[in-house]
């Protein structure tokens, strides 16, 4: 490891030790193992790549979405630290597959197979391409099951918990010898079954303490339906509490990051409830506002297009800023992604756009719902 990488590595370890309490069970994995393997992890927090890679002597190369480079600080960090590969925002990235193959000659490779970092604390969709990669490389596949990372640092949180417990449990789920005689569908099911997690179910059982100070702040960007009156975009937060402009105080977080005051105690159930309202919301006007940017996909540099008002109306996304009005036919939108906390990205034709939104989730869900139903009608 170079001196520069070594210094950055120490700074990361200091940051991690200040940020979380952690427990590690390496299971059948020797943390000093020198040969290479594919390491899979839960995508429950944007910080998981730092946590996991710093637990192992032979540092893994981490695969990340290249859209993380749109943050200037992150891009500077990535440019000065060598342990990264970047996935382009494409359905299948042949360059990445080649880079993973080459990296596996010297280092393990750490992959978070879920399409998105978890919004509400449970596993997201997992593409079947991960099974093809495993079959092609024929390397041992190690799983790092991560519990508590989401509760410590939910991606919507403005004030994250300090020194929350995060557990890391390693185990081999496929050996290189088993892969040879295992079908693609079976490999996919093994990966899918082992990557399952739900931080709320886990902590309902174990009752670990997560400092609840200002726990709710930022959640109104991800929740858009009040479970009591079923009105949309009426929610606000203060400290540990959630309010509705129609109903008043409706819920609060307890010491275990579980929800009190409703018929359910977790955000997974709340999200399921609000997604059931999408057929109704799709017939209405869905609105948000924020900042609009154009993205250069080669340099990953953003160019500001100013403040923007967004409306989803009858399968179309209208964006109005000081310069012009944009009309995007939603069924032609490609590469839809929600990155970091509130940044919505998509490609349209030959152009790429990024929005930093006040209400990112309702716009993301509204576009996703329309895309899903447009595919069904084809």
Q: Can you give the pTM of this predicted structure?
A: 0.89
Are 60 and 133 in the same domain?
Answer: yes
Q: What is the pLDDT of residue 378?
A: 47
pLDDT tens digits, 156-192: 988 777 788 999 999 999 999 999 999 999 999 999 9
pLDDT at 336 over 90: yes
Pick from 41-45, 80-84, 222-226, 262-266: least confident: 80-84
Residue 323's pLDDT is what? Answer: 79
Q: Are residues 184 and 67 in the same domain?
A: yes
Q: Which of 178, 206, 234 is the last residue of a domain?
A: 206
Tell me the C-alpha to C-alpha distance, in Å, between residue 119 and each of 103, 154, 162, 177, 365: 30, 7, 20, 36, 12
Are residues 270 and 292 located together in one domain of the fold?
no
Whether residues 134 and 253 share a domain: the answer is no
Residue 171 maps to a domain: yes
Reply yes or no on whether the pLDDT at 93 is more than 80: no
In a domain, 232, yes or no: yes
pLDDT of residue 80: 67
Res. 376: pLDDT tops 80: no
In a domain, 211, yes or no: no
Judgement on whether residues 146 and 47 belong to the same structural domain of the protein:
yes
Q: Which domain holds residue 113?
A: 3-206
Is the same domain home to 182 and 228? no
130 and 188 Cβ atoms separated by less than 8 Å: yes
pLDDT score of 212 more than 80: no
Residues 60 and 111 placed together within one structural domain of the fold? yes
Question: What b-and-e string marks burial along 116-147, b requiring 16 or more CB atoms within 10 Å of the CB?
Answer: ebbbbbbbbebeeebbebbbebebbbbbbbbb
Percent of the chain with pLDDT over 90: 68
212 within some domain: no
Check residue 201 and give its pLDDT: 94
SS3 86: strand
Domain edge (last residue) among 230, 250, 276: 276
Please indicate, yes or no, if residue 33 is contained in any of the structural domains: yes
Q: Same structural domain for residues 41 and 86?
A: yes
362 — pLDDT class (breaks 50, 70, 90):
very high
Top mean pLDDT of 67-71, 153-157, 289-293 is at: 289-293
Percentage of residues in the chain having pLDDT higher than 70: 97
Burial class, 79, CB count within 10 angstroms (exposed 0-12 / middle 13-18 / buried 19+): exposed
Same domain as 172, residue 35: yes
pLDDT of residue 138: 95
3-state SS track over 257-321: CCEECCCCCCHHHHHHHHHCCHHHHCCCCEEEEEEEEEEECCCCEEEEEEEEEEEEECCEEEEEE
pLDDT, mean over the chain = 90
Task: Give the count of domains, the chain.
Answer: 3
Per-residue burial over 334-364, b if 16 or more Cβ lie within 10 Å, else e, is eebbbbebbbbbbbbeeebbbbbbbbbbbbb
DSSP 122: B
Contacts of 16 (CB under 8 A, 6+ apart): 22, 50, 51, 54
Q: Is residue 13 part of a domain?
A: yes
Does residue 344 register a pLDDT over 80?
yes
The answer on pLDDT for 197 being more than 90 is: yes
The Cα 208–Cα 68 span in angstroms is: 31
Question: Which CATH number do you get for residue 358?
Answer: 2.30.29.30
């Amino acid at each position: 490891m170079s001196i520069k990488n070594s210094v950055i590595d120490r700074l990361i370890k200091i940051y991690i030790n200040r940020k979380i309490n952690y427990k590690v069970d390496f299971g059948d994995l020797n943390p000093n193992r020198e040969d290479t393997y594919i390491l899979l992890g839960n995508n429950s927090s944007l910080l998981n790549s730092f946590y996991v890679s710093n637990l192992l002597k032979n540092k893994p190369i981490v695969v990340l979405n290249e859209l993380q480079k749109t943050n200037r600080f992150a891009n500077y960090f990535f440019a000065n630290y060598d342990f990264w590969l970047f996935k382009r925002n494409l359905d299948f990235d042949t360059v990445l597959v080649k880079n993973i193959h080459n990296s596996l000659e010297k280092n393990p490779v750490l992959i978070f197979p879920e399409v998105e970092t978890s919004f509400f604390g449970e596993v997201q969709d997992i593409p079947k391409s991960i099974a093809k990669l495993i079959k092609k490389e024929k390397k041992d596949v190690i799983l790092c099951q991560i519990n508590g990372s989401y509760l410590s640092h939910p991606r919507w949180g403005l004030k994250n918990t300090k020194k929350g417990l995060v557990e890391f449990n390693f185990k081999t789920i496929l050996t290189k010898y088993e892969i040879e005689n295992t079908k693609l569908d079976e490999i996919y099911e093994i990966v899918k079954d082992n990557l399952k997690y739900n931080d709320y179910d886990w902590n309902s059982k174990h009752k670990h303490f997560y400092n609840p100070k200002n726990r709710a702040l930022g959640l109104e960007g991800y929740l858009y339906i009040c479970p009591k009156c079923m009105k949309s975009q009426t929610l606000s937060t203060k400290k540990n509490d959630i309010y509705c402009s129609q109903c008043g105080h409706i819920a609060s977080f307890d010491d275990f990051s579980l929800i009190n005051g409703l018929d359910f105690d977790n955000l997974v159930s709340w999200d399921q409830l609000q997604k059931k309202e999408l057929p109704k919301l799709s017939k209405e006007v869905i609105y948000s506002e924020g900042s609009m940017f154009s993205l250069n996909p080669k340099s990953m540099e953003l160019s500001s297009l100013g403040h923007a008002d967004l409306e989803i109306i009858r399968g179309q996304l209208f964006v109005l800023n000081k310069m012009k009005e944009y009309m995007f036919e939603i069924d032609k939108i490609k590469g839809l992604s929600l990155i970091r906390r509130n940044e919505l990205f998509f490609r349209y034709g030959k152009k790429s756009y990024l929005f930093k939104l006040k209400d990112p989730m309702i716009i993301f869900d509204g576009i996703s719902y329309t895309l899903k139903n447009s595919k069904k009608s084809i």
